Structure 1
Amino acid sequence: MSDTPPQFPPPPPSPSSSPSPETHVIDYRAAEQLLAARDPRGAVKLLDSVIAAHPENTAARLLRARAFFAAAQLRPAELEFELVLEREPDNAFAHFALARTHERAGRPDQARKHFRLAAALDPRPDYLAAARFEE
């Protein structure tokens, strides 16, 4: 018998400090839940890391814009909606949400433009009603 202690293999390397893609999906889904639970600031915090890792992710940007809007952070919401529309100019929801943002910020002319674009892209009853084409 030997007096030497048993040799164990070295521990596996520690995971890198950057989250995995799966973590970003989990964070995105959690942010959706936080927004639904009326915690937009919590949603923004989770989405910040997702967008930092994937700045091209328009779904995450759209969700963060909605969270900014829900938190009454209108300028950041406006910037995010505009970025989404730069990438997806035919996104009716983004036009509608940007219109609501302009409306809430007291800019009815800009709001009307985006309400009308939303209705032209997707003639949903709520988009059509907001567009007020008869005016």
Structure 2
Amino acid sequence: MTDTQTLLTRARTHRDSGDQITAARLFAEAAEREPDATSILTDLALAQFHSAALTAAETTARRLVDLAPADAYAHVLLGRTLARQGRHREAVPHLRLATTMTGEWADLLHDSEARAATTA
């Protein structure tokens, strides 16, 4: 097993046990070793989101969207992160794109659209 694989195994173990902070740290180490690995960046953004490291999650999700613009889940991660920060207007285009691409996540889109409308 490579060092990166070991880091990922440890990170997933921490994530699965609910320790998102340690998981995020380990996923970040793995992402430093493989900065263009979208699967690692997805796991990292999700762990950052769940540990409420929202600025870091946004940065990671934006990188993921840049690397894989056709990845609907990358747009969902970015949209959810922006929405959780109360930035619903910024979240809507990403959630709309993801919903259009897959037919999923309409509930997240409608929630952000409604919240964006109330802050207009």
User: For the superposition of Structure 1 and Structure 2, which TM-score range results when normalised by the shorter chain?
Assistant: 0.7 to 0.9
CA deviation digits over 1:48-89, x for unaligned, max 9? 321222111111111111111111111110010000000100
Kindly provide the amino acid, as one letter, of the partner of residue 50 in structure 1.
A
Match of 1:40 among 20, 38, 41: 20
In the alignment, structure 1 segments of 5+ residues that lack a partner are 1-20
C-alpha distance in structure 2 between counterparts of 1:36 and 1:79, whole Å = 23
1:7 counterpart residue number? none
Within 2, Cα distance between the matches of 1:131 and 1:51? Answer: 29
* CA distance in structure 2 between the partners assigned to 1:29 and 1:123 by the alignment: 32
Partners of 2:106 and 2:72 in 1: how far apart?
11
Q: Which amino acid aligns with 1:128?
A: A
Shift of 1:41: 1.3
1:33, distance to aligned residue in structure 2 (A): 2.5
User: What TM-score, normalized to structure 2?
Assistant: 0.84
SS at match of 2:2: helix
Which consecutive residues of structure 2, in runs of 5 or more, have no partner in the other structure? Answer: 115-120
Give the structure, 1 or 2, with the largest relative contact order (CA under 8 Å, sep 6 or more).
2
Q: Give every structure 1 segment of 4 or more consecutive aligned residues whose post-TM-superposition deviation is greater than 4 Å.
A: none
Shift of 1:27: 1.5
Larger Rg: 1
Matches for 1:1-135 after TM superposition, within 5 Å = 22-124=2-104, 127-132=105-110
Partner Cα separation in structure 2 for residue 56 and residue 85 of structure 1: 11
CA RMSD of aligned residues (A): 1.9
Letter in 1 for 2:50: A
What's the CA shift for 1:131?
Answer: 2.1
Percent identity reads 26
Relative to its length, the structure with more helix (as a share) is: 2
Q: TM-score, normalised by structure 1?
A: 0.75
